[in-house]
Structure 1
Amino acid sequence: MELTLVLGGLSSGKTALALSLAQRFIPPRVYIGTAEPIDQEMAQKIAQHRAERDESWQTVEAPLELGRALRESDKKEISLILVDGLGVWLGNLFAKKIDYQKYIIEFLDTLSFVETPLIIVSEEVGLGGISPSPEVRRWGEALGKLNQALAERAKRVALVVAGFPLWLKGGDYEPS
């Protein structure tokens, strides 16, 4: 599997970079979205992200079952899977008080079998402050460890700041 990990903060341009990188792959491509329209703001953000993709994308919603969505997408005749994003997915698991560690293990195990090139978008949590909320601290700790595990497996890792990528690993992959 060819994995590119795109990290960045809130509204850093990480999804835009991932979509730009995805243009190198001939359609059809699969976009796995993890967000749920839990309020009007999130519904607008989901609609905005949908508008950024053309009809050549197949969209799969996976707010919880990300491992299964990856396995099913990998069976299709596609050139790329883009997962957006891991912070929201992990937040969904925390919000529903689900055993997130079990889901993380399943997700990482699934990656061992995925043959389709993969771009994963995730929030970088290591630059922020320390939350007074124990649950938010656990979420940040879990996402940080997940990002590290993915970065270790990835061929390329980018950190996006103000719309610009800083290539941390395998910087030979320029956006179009």
Structure 2
Amino acid sequence: MRVAGSELVLGGQRSGKSRRAEQLAQAWLAGDAGHRASFVVTAHGGDEEMQSRIERHRADRAERLPGAATVEAPRALAEAIAAHSRADTLIVVDCLTLWLANLHPLDESGIAQETDRLADAVAQAAGPVVLVSNEIGLGVVPMGREVRAYVDALGRINQALAAVCERVTLVAAGLPLVLKGSL
């Protein structure tokens, strides 16, 4: 598995997108003894069920990728990438979907500014960056105004990051489909 300079991994909930990101990190780490991996996570445990998910993800990552660092950055993704990017370090951001939720109550303009800052950070990163995001715009148009605004904003974020990433992969049922670039 070839690791791209930057990759956006899209998919639905439980599609295998985070697993794909972990596989890319495993391939990166196996490629050279000097390689490192850092996971920049955006989730925060707002309730008991979410805290359980976070703990499960943390334990699974520790088992599959021992030695990988974890950086918590629920809002400051551009800064986290800039601070941790090194030529020998692959950064995995998991996930943009929760990051957008954490940006509330920013308006459309504020979200666009944060997205531009993130896209610039990815484009300027010294090492490889893998971004994980949900593709939630494939279904029916949501009934509520706030939900429609969220779906629209995530669609714009995904498009902006896809434009700067070397490779874009859609994951469905655990299977990667390359939309941009090559495997």
TM-score, normalised relative to structure 1: 0.89
1:81 paired to 2:91: yes
Q: Using the alignment, how far apart are the partners of 2:26 and 2:88 within structure 1?
A: 13
Moved more, 153-162 or 59-68: 153-162
SS at match of 2:168: strand
Identity across the alignment (%): 40
Q: Using the alignment, how far apart are the partners of 1:71 and 1:22 within structure 2?
A: 18
Q: Using the alignment, how far apart are the partners of 1:103 and 1:128 within structure 2?
A: 26
Cα deviation for residue 77 of structure 1 reads: 6.7
Provide runs of 4+ in structure 1 moved above 6 Å. Answer: none
Q: Using the alignment, how far apart are the partners of 2:5 and 2:87 within structure 1?
A: 16
Paired letter, 2:19: A
CA contact (8 A) 2:87 2:126 kept: no
CA contact (8 A) 2:7 2:167 kept: yes
Cα deviation for residue 78 of structure 1 reads: 3.9
The structure 2 residue matched to 1:102, chosen from 113, 123, 138, is 113
Cα deviation for residue 139 of structure 1 reads: 1.3
Paired letter, 2:180: K
Which structure has the highest helix share of the two? 2
Cα deviation for residue 145 of structure 1 reads: 1.2
TM-score, normalised relative to structure 2: 0.86
Q: Using the alignment, how far apart are the partners of 1:136 and 1:70 within structure 2?
A: 28
Q: Using the alignment, how far apart are the partners of 1:57 and 1:46 within structure 2?
A: 16
CA contact (8 A) 2:87 2:127 kept: no
Partner residue, 1:161: 172
Partner residue, 2:22: 19
Cα deviation for residue 38 of structure 1 reads: 0.5
Partner residue, 1:134: 145
Cα RMSD, aligned residues only: 1.6
Paired letter, 1:79: T
Partner residue, 2:32: none
Q: Using the alignment, how far apart are the partners of 2:97 and 2:147 within structure 1?
A: 11
Cα deviation for residue 62 of structure 1 reads: 0.6
- Unaligned 5+ segments in structure 2 are 30-34
CA contact (8 A) 2:42 2:96 kept: yes
Aligned length: 169
- Unaligned 5+ segments in structure 1 are none
